[in-house]
Amino acid sequence: MAVAEKRVERRVIEDVTVILKLSEDEARTVAAVLSLVSGDRRKSPREHTVAVLNALREARVLRSIGSPFEATLTTPEIGHPVHLAEGMVRFRDYPEGA
């Protein structure tokens, strides 16, 4: 006799919103650090850094393009805030199936 069984695992996912209050200088510092993060924009935690930077732009903490607190594609001049940090933070891709 054939037997079939179906198991359903239900997970409760909480949608949590975090509100972080920062001074403008603190927000620009966060932007400077996040601008140094690399990794795949779609398959790693870098997607969240892009989202935070976009939120800072929407809040008009950063200009849309060319903020002095964002890393540029070229070597920034001495005194640029990106020179306050050394190296780069690189996220690995999320594990397959995660």
Query: Is 9 part of any domain?
Result: no
pLDDT given for residue 63 in this prediction:
65
For every residue of the chain, DSSP letters joined together read -----------------------HHHHHHHHHHHTTEES-TTTSTHHHHHHHHHHHHHTTSS-SS--TTS--SSPPPTT-GGGGS-S-EEPPPPPTT-
Q: Report how far Cα 64 is from the mean position of its chain's Cα atoms.
A: 16
Range 23-42 average pLDDT: 83
Give the confidence band of 73 by pLDDT, cuts at 50, 70, 90.
very low
Query: Is 7 part of any domain?
Result: no
Query: Is 49 part of any domain?
Result: yes
Residue range(s) defining the domain that contains residue 28? 24-90
Q: Which of these, 72, 1, 7, lies nearest to 35 by C-alpha position? A: 72
Question: Which carries the bigger pLDDT value, residue 66 or residue 8?
Answer: 8
Query: pTM for the complete prediction?
Result: 0.58
Neighbouring residues of 68: CB distance < 8 A, sequence distance ≥ 6? 80, 81
Query: Is 32 part of any domain?
Result: yes
Query: Is 56 part of any domain?
Result: yes
Range 67-74 average pLDDT: 48
Percent of the chain with pLDDT over 90: 1
**38-56 tens-digit pLDDT:** 888 888 888 888 888 888 8
End-to-end CA distance of the chain: 37
Give the confidence band of 15 by pLDDT, cuts at 50, 70, 90.
confident
What's the number of domains the chain is made of? 1
Three-point CA angle 9, 92, 20, nearest 5°? 75
Query: Is 10 part of any domain?
Result: no
